[in-house]
């Protein structure tokens, strides 16, 4: 079988680099174009010194002969290009926020501008395979969710679907610094961040409407959610700690989670509260279900660059192109 000819747009950010490193070992993929504004014209090895990948970075994807484009461009930069790529016959696995929200009115509010192609929103599949595998398999356009959204939705979906959330929900999220991207700034500066934890975006983070949208689809309506992200001094990993009043018993809640994820290859209910390190360097999401005095405390851990971005993108690609869902995603666990 001929490998699928793939392009990666925005290949030198952390999601793009992770994607390239994963796809380089995918037996069904030929990486035929990588784009990067800052590396345009330079050989691939300038950014990937260990990969045996010949060629030079392009400035833009040339969709001719490309079957799938993985979009890792900044938010807003990809929506216009996506329409062109689709017109040229490509399918798209998009890792930006551009097609995640189905309601066009949310873009001006959360992203400060009208959506460039609101007509495409209806057909975009939300790229969370635990919830939307069938749609992803058929879609021309897959919108891979945000890293926090993936963790929070996977932490809450079974409870929401089973009607076991009896109150508002607090999601207190902790993320490694790679979630802030590769662009330098005081917000990613080693000496400012090491030995420190801080909350940010208390007024409202862009992943919140994604979380609401998905929980509403599961439960009819989303519970009221307060979501506060924190930066912790580590590279990879997200932990979401979710609090809500229990409807029913803790045993019922646990059973709901076990059932919901029984056949999932990557999301697992674990007995002990997971340290994020157990989930990083792989496409896992580990969920633990517990309670304190009648209040459920559900934690979910994943690697923000893998299950929270590039790995989930490969998972969606596998579904969309008929590969085994775990292809190129079975790598060794690393501990410590």
3-state class (DSSP) for residue 59:
coil
Active-site residue flag, 147:
yes
**Torsion-angle region of residue 293: left (phi > 0), alpha (psi -120 to 50) or beta?**
left
Q: Which of residues 149-188 bind a copy of itself (CB under 8 A)?
A: 168, 170, 172, 174, 176-178, 182, 184-186, 188
Q: Which of residues 107-136 bind a copy of itself (CB under 8 A)?
A: none
**Least distance (Å) between residue 122 CB and a copy of itself:** 28
**Torsion-angle region of residue 207: left (phi > 0), alpha (psi -120 to 50) or beta?**
alpha
Q: Which of 40, 134, 197, 221 binds a copy of itself (CB under 8 A)?
A: 197
For 93, which DSSP code?
E
Q: Which of residues 250-279 bind a copy of itself (CB under 8 A)?
A: 268, 270-278
Q: Which of residues 12-51 bind a copy of itself (CB under 8 A)?
A: 14, 17-18, 21-22, 24-25, 48-51
Output 49 or 64, the one with its CB closest to a copy of itself.
Answer: 49
Identified catalytic residue from 72, 147, 242, 285? 147
3-state class (DSSP) for residue 16:
helix
**Least distance (Å) between residue 98 CB and a copy of itself:** 24
**Is 195 among the residues that bind a copy of itself (CB under 8 A)?**
yes
CA torsion, points 170, 176, 177, 182, in degrees to nearest 10?
A: -110
**Is 216 among the residues that bind a copy of itself (CB under 8 A)?**
no
Output 1 or 292, the one with its CB closest to a copy of itself.
Answer: 292
Instruction: List, in order, residues 6 or more apart from 293 with CB less than 8 Å away.
Output: none
Asked if 48 contacts 8 with a C-beta cutoff of 8 angstroms, the reply is no
Number of residues that bind a copy of itself (CB under 8 A): 81
Measure Cα distances from 78 to 93, 98, 104, 157, 213 in Å.
11, 7, 16, 29, 22
**Is 53 among the residues that bind a copy of itself (CB under 8 A)?**
no
Q: Which of 209, 237, 308, 313 binds a copy of itself (CB under 8 A)?
A: 237
Instruction: List, in order, residues 6 or more apart from 106 with CB less than 8 Å away.
Output: 209
How far from the centroid of its chain's Cα atoms is residue 129's Cα?
A: 11
Output 27 or 112, the one with its CB closest to a copy of itself.
Answer: 27
Which amino acids are annotated catalytic? 147
């Amino acid at each position: 079988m001929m490998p699928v000819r793939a392009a990666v747009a925005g290949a030198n950010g952390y999601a793009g680099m992770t994607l390239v490193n994963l796809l380089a070992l995918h037996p069904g993929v030929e990486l035929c174009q990588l784009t990067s504004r800052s590396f345009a014209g330079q050989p691939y090895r300038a950014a990937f010194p260990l990969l045996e990948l010949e060629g030079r970075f392009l400035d833009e994807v040339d969709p001719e002969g490309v079957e799938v484009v993985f979009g890792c461009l900044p938010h807003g930069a990809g929506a216009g290009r996506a329409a062109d790529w689709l017109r040229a016959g490509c399918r798209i696995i998009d890792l930006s926020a551009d097609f995640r929200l189905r309601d066009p009115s949310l873009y001006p509010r959360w992203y400060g501008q009208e959506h460039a192609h609101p007509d495409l929103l209806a057909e975009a599949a939300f790229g969370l395979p635990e919830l939307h595998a069938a749609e992803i398999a058929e879609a021309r356009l897959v919108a891979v969710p945000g890293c926090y959204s993936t963790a929070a939705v996977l932490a809450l979906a079974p409870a929401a679907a089973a009607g076991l959330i009896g109150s508002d929900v607090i999601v207190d999220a902790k993320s490694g610094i790679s979630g802030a991207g590769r662009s330098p700034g005081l917000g990613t500066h080693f000496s400012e961040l090491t030995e420190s934890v801080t909350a940010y975006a208390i007024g409202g983070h862009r992943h919140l409407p994604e979380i609401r949208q998905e929980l509403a689809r599961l439960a009819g309506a989303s519970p009221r959610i307060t979501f506060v992200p924190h930066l912790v001094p580590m590279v990879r990993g997200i932990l979401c700690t979710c609090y809500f009043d229990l409807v029913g018993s803790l045993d019922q809640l646990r059973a709901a989670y076990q059932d919901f994820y029984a056949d999932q290859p990557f999301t697992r209910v674990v007995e002990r509260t997971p340290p994020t390190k157990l989930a990083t360097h792989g496409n896992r999401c580990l969920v633990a279900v517990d309670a304190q005095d009648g209040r459920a405390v559900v934690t979910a851990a994943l690697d923000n660059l893998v299950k929270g971005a590039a790995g989930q993108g490969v998972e969606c690609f596998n579904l969309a192109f008929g590969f085994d869902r775990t292809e190129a995603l079975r790598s060794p666990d690393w501990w410590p």
